[in-house]
Structure 1
Amino acid sequence: MFAEVVFNIPHNNSFFYRAIDGCQVGVRVRASLKRRVLTGYVIGMTETLPYDIPDSRIKDVEKVLDSEPLFSRDGAFFDMAKWVSSYYMCSLGEALAMMVPLGKTQRENPVPYEEPSSYVKHELTEEQKEAIETFYSSDSYLFYLYGITGSGKTEVYLSIAERLLKEENGSVLYLVPEISLTSQIVESMRNRFLDITGVAILHSRLSAGQRLNEWKRILSGEARLVIGARSAVFAPLKNLSLIILDEEHESSYKSGSTPRYHARQVAMWRARKEGARLIMGSATPSFEAYRMMRDGKLPFYALTSRVGGGAEPEMRVIHLKEFPGPLSAPLLEEIERTHKEGRQTILFLNRRGFAHYIQCLSCGYEMICRHCSVPLTYHEAHNIMICHYCGYRTRPIDVCPKCNSVNVRYGGPGTEQMEKELSRRFPFYRIRRLDTDTAAKSGYVDKVIDEMHRGEVDVLIGTQMIAKGLNFKKLGLVGVVLADTGLHIPDFRASERVFSLLMQVAGRAGRFLPDGKVIIQTYLANHPAIAYAKKNDLEGFYLRELKLREETNFPPFSRLIRVLVRGKKESRVKSEIYKLADVLRKNLPAGVELLGPSTCPMEMIAGNYRYHLFLRAKNSSIMHAVLKKVLSGFELTSGLFLEIDIDPVNVT
């Protein structure tokens, strides 16, 4: 008997091995491939080989890693793996390696759960009831819940999920963009659905063994409700009835490594294939979703009022040329006033570390990562310069290595600097910081969020992870320390991202209070993303931006595929991308454009030079076809790497 095995390598071939006890479709195995022993996935069993090969060349499977299959060949899960492989142009092995959890079953280290406490189910407002009825009356498998921050979208999701779990005996998948949000949702869901089904969690902070344990609970049917971040979209749920995609606009739903899938796209495919419903929601929809709603192609319901008794916060823009920062006098005054009123403040800055760069004021020298074309960030707590792209570390300088000047300064504030400055100005305030540096400490995120809920924190400083999904009853002020971060990136989505982030973080204020305030600090007070956010004018900004996108033929009025070549020698990378571009031009069908090639905005990352080109068309299938045809006959030079990104979200 022979086992057909695929590996997590960028080759579409499968390999055959002599089976040992335990080999069956759906298990992981260890097997030798050339000079390496790799983990592979058994996708078939056969008594005869499909091609003539000497028996002496067939190797044995070295080890079977699973006692039971993790998937079946004829199931929806395997169909999904094949679709991911085809649509995102990766190998089947790469798709399965991303979809199936690694690790061994852990008997003594289960996922930690809080003991269920008393759960109070909120009474639905008339708007929420109407939203639910509109969902059920729609004939489409797609539905959008478009509502301002604090309008109670979560309660609508949970009410729909409860009905489906009870009445249809189905299963529900609840996707959130940020890992830090899962613990809050899990606690409320376990309390609410305790008598109906088990709840499973899937996200990257779990150990490999914990993820595999949760996977098996889902596979066995013990848990019919799954909550998780991006990769949870592949949870092996049976009888899938509903997928909830919360904060649909979030770019974190897009994978940054092969396969570069988008959870929204996978959820749409899965809902259609498995006969489930997909409900998406956001206060700031993606432009793709907004255009579909506007054109009548996506049924939706708009929630227009807050359910916690709060009101839209007062918005004020502080021009940093008039009031120097990073903590301007007006912002400091508001922090002090808010504290005296017994309320809390959130300060948002999407830069971690102490300073964003170190620069010599005499000659302009700047400390740049030796492996990436980005400035190093100074982390004062460890007195170290760190590259946030490749992890390179070195000591900061006191003397310029270029001109020997001691006129060296730290520039560009980060969350660490904000924490230090606030502690100096307000020594008796209880100040906490939430970013990827502090979140690395086990349990720290949940601890800080609990302290905020209990009113034991006066000021919370954080990056993007505090910009969404968090509701604090005593929160009176939100300050955006520097709204310009992200506007200088050469990306057609830059304005959209900044506007959305400002609207989301501003939405934390005034949810339960009638007089919440938001202060936005900026050097670009007249930029449309900031000006429209100040007016809380989502429709005005979207219509303006959509007009620009239509004039320039960028998504959502077209589809893109990004092709990137990277390698250690720039001349070879450049030569390769131009050679590929020439072949593509000769094969381009009508309706497909080729943009580029050019250097990437981030020219070097981790010692690799990067060049890219784009294919653009109204329809993605025609681009898929031409790219697959060209790449099937294109041999990549040794030492270079090719990246394919379908519908790219980040083009830096």
Structure 2
Amino acid sequence: MDNFLQVVFNIPVKATYTYKNLEDNPGKVGYRVEAMLGRRKLIGFVTKTTNVEPTEFKANPILRVVDKEPLFNSILLELANWVADFTMCSVGEALGAMLPGGKREKGLPASSIEEIPDPKDITLSTEQEVAITAILNDKNPIFYLFGITGSGKTEVFLQAAKEVLNRGESVIYLVPEISLTHQVVDTLKSRFTQGVAVLHSHLTPSQRLTEWRRIQSGEAPLIIGARSAIFAPCDKLGLIIIDEEHENSYKSSNTPRYSARQVAMKRARLQGSKLVLGSATPSVESWKLMDDGKIKRLNLTKRLSGGAMPKSTIVDMRHEDGVLSKTLIKKIEEAYNQGRQTILFLNRRGFSYFFHCNSCGYEMVCKNCSVSLTYHKNKNRMVCHYCGYQAYPISVCPECNSLDIGSTGFGVEHIEEEVGKIFPSLNIKRLDSDVLNQKNSKTLLKDTLNDFKNKKIDILLGTQMVARGLNFPGVKLVGIIMADTGLKMPDFRAAERSFGLIVQVSGRAGRYAPDGEVVIQTFMPQNRTINLAAKSDINSFYTSELEDRKLLEFPPYTRMIRLVFRSKRLGEMLKVIDSFEKELTRGIDNSTEILGPSECPISVIAGSYRHQILIRTTNLNSAHSVTYSLLQRSKIPAYIYIEVDVDPISLL
């Protein structure tokens, strides 16, 4: 037994603390221990043991050992060190994010894995067989399964996983921002004789720990889960699958701000495992890696269930009166008369999103954030979607006492009301996070999807929840209510996100019959992104988007580090940022450019002012080193918090 332990804590301090070990129940590397840090009693992680007694201070003993066996093996400890270095956080914070019961993942209880057929009913296409053979036998370490919606990507993933499991190796299967429904987990368990573990944010800490131990023991070699499942503690890791690789939810929005895709690449190298990414709409970075030959592309070009890519119609809403165009109303009627179903999509919650006075222009905004409040009619509340602040709608303008006030713009609640008025005899259901925040959300979701599958619902409308993973034979029509919503965001990825969303939601139509239709409503009918998405012209979009990115020197042609400074004390914060930027500028070379400091597009959230510095570089190692070093030695006041984001996916 070593007499001393080196311990890190899940705190933003990049330090290792030395404690005296216990003789009767000693701690070891990979264990959690409880210890006093100053006056606080904290749980820490043992990263090293030693017999060398510190000379400059007397080491206090730990209070107790939490675990009976280690939680982290050498691979995970090495991965934690890499995550900490890359994201510029402490090793303790990285281990805290790995641990079951660590930071909560954003997500809803829905499944992105499409309905999985019984293996006896499966006939693989030639393209699927080629893809499976390549994944299992090629020497390439990384593959991208690029296929149109409905082309059978999931079956390729599952067949490859089955072979890897049969070899006695483990498989990590990542799905975006969700906890899987029992139905899908049960289906997967029926497909595989090997044990299945599920890691996601809706498990209790004890449930997560139970799954963690099942994985460690080898009892559950197939691990399914959201972002943090990439840290599952399997020794013999043969395959990592990342479904819907383009999804933003694979990037953590809390410290450490890691990307599951980047961690997967690092882990695959550490353990010599294969990595398979997949999507119908890859991220621009992945597309560039495919073009450059750094990732091997595997193509799936055909729909397998008798369907074809839907016919799309763009409707210019500048010449329409209501929220539903005459074209869309007519198509909904036609689908209903044929005994078919419709999905309506709008990427905006609530009833309306802009409450203002028509006399003086007063706008009802959040008292804590620099954003408009959204009106939720079913609650009769104005709600901030950033901090959760709520207020009652006003009836008199507080600025000019005018009674001429009202709301502009519309959310999915408003669409629900309008569709109900136009089609009073049709059964309409709304599916969004507001609906699923209720206590019975899992039952409600399951019942809604079963009813839709059984054609008890004529029109299903919702936000991003209906954009992916829904695979129903009865759907003929998809209506996209406002296709240009995301294009107005002040972010260089706005076109990429909008294109992906339109293509993904359009892919819900015509999966089983070649007569699917999509109506795309927009106030920007000439917009290139919308037109290419309507034609599902993937190649042209990525070619033009990469040309724009190269011209503007944005990723993937450069790398970025985003530093967001947050504080309730604006004046003092601005002085600190100014000093920090000057010091940063002195340290960089010609490969790096500093943009800012400037206000973030959303300049106040939850009462804290937000300003940012963007570091754009063609030499990430150099820029990273300079930034990391400056952050380490800068004496930032406690009332200022800095968010560090390497390779940010959003600049809002």
TM-score, normalised relative to structure 2: 0.93
Cα deviation for residue 129 of structure 1 reads 1.0
Match in the other structure for 2:160: 160
**Structure 2 counterpart SS, 1:577:** helix
Q: Which amino acid letter does the alignment assign opposite residue 598 of structure 1? A: S
Q: Which amino acid letter does the alignment assign opposite residue 461 of structure 2? A: I
**Structure 1 counterpart SS, 2:18:** strand
Q: Which amino acid letter does the alignment assign opposite residue 6 of structure 2? A: E
Which aligned pairs between 1:222-261 and structure 2 lie closer than 5 A? 222-261=219-258
Looking at structure 2, the residues matched to 117 and 510 of structure 1 have their Cα atoms a distance apart, in angstroms, of 18
Cα deviation for residue 48 of structure 1 reads 4.5
Give the paired residue count. Answer: 632
1:518 aligns with 2:518: yes
**Structure 1 counterpart SS, 2:318:** coil
Looking at structure 2, the residues matched to 117 and 249 of structure 1 have their Cα atoms a distance apart, in angstroms, of 25
**Structure 2 counterpart SS, 1:321:** helix
Match in the other structure for 2:188: 189
1:14 aligns with 2:11: no
Give the one of 14, 35, 38 matched to 2:42. 38
Match in the other structure for 1:351: 348
Match in the other structure for 1:445: 445
Cα deviation for residue 551 of structure 1 reads 0.9
Q: Which amino acid letter does the alignment assign opposite residue 18 of structure 2? A: F
- Contact 2:179-2:200 within 8 A present in 1 as well: no
Looking at structure 1, the residues matched to 143 and 342 of structure 2 have their Cα atoms a distance apart, in angstroms, of 35
Which aligned pairs between 1:628-639 and structure 2 lie closer than 5 A? 628-639=628-639
The runs of 5 or more residues in structure 2 that have no matched partner are 103-115
Cα deviation for residue 70 of structure 1 reads 1.2
Looking at structure 1, the residues matched to 437 and 461 of structure 2 have their Cα atoms a distance apart, in angstroms, of 16
Cα deviation for residue 506 of structure 1 reads 0.4
Q: Which amino acid letter does the alignment assign opposite residue 309 of structure 2? A: E
Moved more, 421-430 or 572-581: 421-430
Looking at structure 2, the residues matched to 570 and 300 of structure 1 have their Cα atoms a distance apart, in angstroms, of 49
1:618 aligns with 2:626: no
Match in the other structure for 1:376: 373
Match in the other structure for 1:574: 574
Looking at structure 2, the residues matched to 426 and 593 of structure 1 have their Cα atoms a distance apart, in angstroms, of 56
- Contact 1:181-1:470 within 8 A present in 2 as well: no
Looking at structure 1, the residues matched to 627 and 513 of structure 2 have their Cα atoms a distance apart, in angstroms, of 54
C-alpha offsets along residues 383-405 of structure 1, whole Å, 9 cap, x if unaligned? 11111111111211111111111
Looking at structure 1, the residues matched to 181 and 215 of structure 2 have their Cα atoms a distance apart, in angstroms, of 17
Q: Which amino acid letter does the alignment assign opposite residue 12 of structure 2? A: P
- Contact 2:594-2:613 within 8 A present in 1 as well: yes
Looking at structure 2, the residues matched to 276 and 468 of structure 1 have their Cα atoms a distance apart, in angstroms, of 28
C-alpha offsets along residues 154-180 of structure 1, whole Å, 9 cap, x if unaligned? 1111111111111x2101011111416
Cα deviation for residue 121 of structure 1 reads 4.5
Match in the other structure for 2:456: 456
Looking at structure 1, the residues matched to 197 and 489 of structure 2 have their Cα atoms a distance apart, in angstroms, of 38
Give the one of 431, 434, 451 matched to 1:434. 431
Match in the other structure for 2:496: 496
The runs of 5 or more residues in structure 1 that have no matched partner are 104-115
Q: Which amino acid letter does the alignment assign opposite residue 310 of structure 1? A: G
Cα deviation for residue 127 of structure 1 reads 1.5
Cα deviation for residue 240 of structure 1 reads 0.3
Give the one of 324, 327, 336 matched to 2:324. 327
Cα deviation for residue 184 of structure 1 reads 5.5
Give the one of 338, 341, 346 matched to 2:335. 338
- Contact 1:345-1:475 within 8 A present in 2 as well: yes
Q: Which amino acid letter does the alignment assign opposite residue 31 of structure 1? A: A
- CA 1:18–1:447 in structure 2 vs 1: closer, same or farther (change >3 Å)? farther
Cα deviation for residue 417 of structure 1 reads 2.0
Q: Which amino acid letter does the alignment assign opposite residue 62 of structure 2? A: V
Q: Which amino acid letter does the alignment assign opposite residue 41 of structure 1? A: F
- CA 1:52–1:414 in structure 2 vs 1: closer, same or farther (change >3 Å)? same
TM-score, normalised relative to structure 1: 0.93
- Contact 1:182-1:227 within 8 A present in 2 as well: no
Q: Identity rate of aligned residues, in percent?
A: 47
- Contact 2:8-2:91 within 8 A present in 1 as well: yes
- Contact 2:180-2:225 within 8 A present in 1 as well: no
- CA 1:26–1:357 in structure 2 vs 1: closer, same or farther (change >3 Å)? same
- CA 1:118–1:290 in structure 2 vs 1: closer, same or farther (change >3 Å)? closer
Match in the other structure for 2:627: 627
Looking at structure 1, the residues matched to 422 and 290 of structure 2 have their Cα atoms a distance apart, in angstroms, of 48
Match in the other structure for 1:294: 291
Match in the other structure for 2:268: 271
Which aligned pairs between 1:135-214 and structure 2 lie closer than 5 A? 135-166=135-166, 168-179=167-178, 183=182, 185-193=184-192, 195=193, 197-214=194-211
Cα deviation for residue 47 of structure 1 reads 4.4
Moved more, 136-145 or 177-186: 177-186
- CA 1:209–1:410 in structure 2 vs 1: closer, same or farther (change >3 Å)? farther
**Structure 1 counterpart SS, 2:353:** strand
Q: Which amino acid letter does the alignment assign opposite residue 522 of structure 1? A: T
Match in the other structure for 1:90: 89
Cα deviation for residue 117 of structure 1 reads 11
Looking at structure 1, the residues matched to 482 and 201 of structure 2 have their Cα atoms a distance apart, in angstroms, of 29
Match in the other structure for 1:25: 29
Looking at structure 1, the residues matched to 502 and 607 of structure 2 have their Cα atoms a distance apart, in angstroms, of 34
Looking at structure 1, the residues matched to 437 and 208 of structure 2 have their Cα atoms a distance apart, in angstroms, of 18
Q: Which amino acid letter does the alignment assign opposite residue 122 of structure 2? A: H
Q: Which amino acid letter does the alignment assign opposite residue 42 of structure 2? A: L
C-alpha offsets along residues 323-351 of structure 1, whole Å, 9 cap, x if unaligned? 23322232222222212221121111111
Cα deviation for residue 23 of structure 1 reads 3.4
Looking at structure 2, the residues matched to 344 and 619 of structure 1 have their Cα atoms a distance apart, in angstroms, of 52
Q: Which amino acid letter does the alignment assign opposite residue 160 of structure 1? A: A
Match in the other structure for 1:602: 602
**Structure 2 counterpart SS, 1:232:** helix
Cα deviation for residue 4 of structure 1 reads 2.8
Looking at structure 2, the residues matched to 31 and 121 of structure 1 have their Cα atoms a distance apart, in angstroms, of 56
Q: Which amino acid letter does the alignment assign opposite residue 27 of structure 2? A: C
Cα deviation for residue 649 of structure 1 reads 0.3
Looking at structure 1, the residues matched to 417 and 40 of structure 2 have their Cα atoms a distance apart, in angstroms, of 49
Q: Which amino acid letter does the alignment assign opposite residue 252 of structure 2? A: S
Match in the other structure for 1:411: 408
Moved more, 141-150 or 289-298: 289-298
Cα deviation for residue 277 of structure 1 reads 0.2
Looking at structure 2, the residues matched to 464 and 49 of structure 1 have their Cα atoms a distance apart, in angstroms, of 56
Looking at structure 2, the residues matched to 609 and 119 of structure 1 have their Cα atoms a distance apart, in angstroms, of 55
Cα deviation for residue 574 of structure 1 reads 1.6
Q: Which amino acid letter does the alignment assign opposite residue 66 of structure 1? A: D
Looking at structure 2, the residues matched to 377 and 430 of structure 1 have their Cα atoms a distance apart, in angstroms, of 26
Match in the other structure for 2:112: none
C-alpha offsets along residues 195-222 of structure 1, whole Å, 9 cap, x if unaligned? 2x11111112222222222112111111
Q: Which amino acid letter does the alignment assign opposite residue 130 of structure 2? A: E
Moved more, 415-424 or 505-514: 415-424
Looking at structure 1, the residues matched to 447 and 42 of structure 2 have their Cα atoms a distance apart, in angstroms, of 39
Which aligned pairs between 1:276-287 and structure 2 lie closer than 5 A? 276-287=273-284
- Contact 1:415-1:461 within 8 A present in 2 as well: yes
**Structure 2 counterpart SS, 1:542:** helix
Match in the other structure for 2:72: 71
Looking at structure 2, the residues matched to 562 and 300 of structure 1 have their Cα atoms a distance apart, in angstroms, of 31
C-alpha offsets along residues 480-521 of structure 1, whole Å, 9 cap, x if unaligned? 111111111111110110011100110111011111111111
- Contact 1:102-1:208 within 8 A present in 2 as well: yes
**Structure 2 counterpart SS, 1:610:** strand
Which aligned pairs between 1:460-499 and structure 2 lie closer than 5 A? 460-499=460-499
Looking at structure 1, the residues matched to 324 and 471 of structure 2 have their Cα atoms a distance apart, in angstroms, of 24
Cα deviation for residue 429 of structure 1 reads 2.5
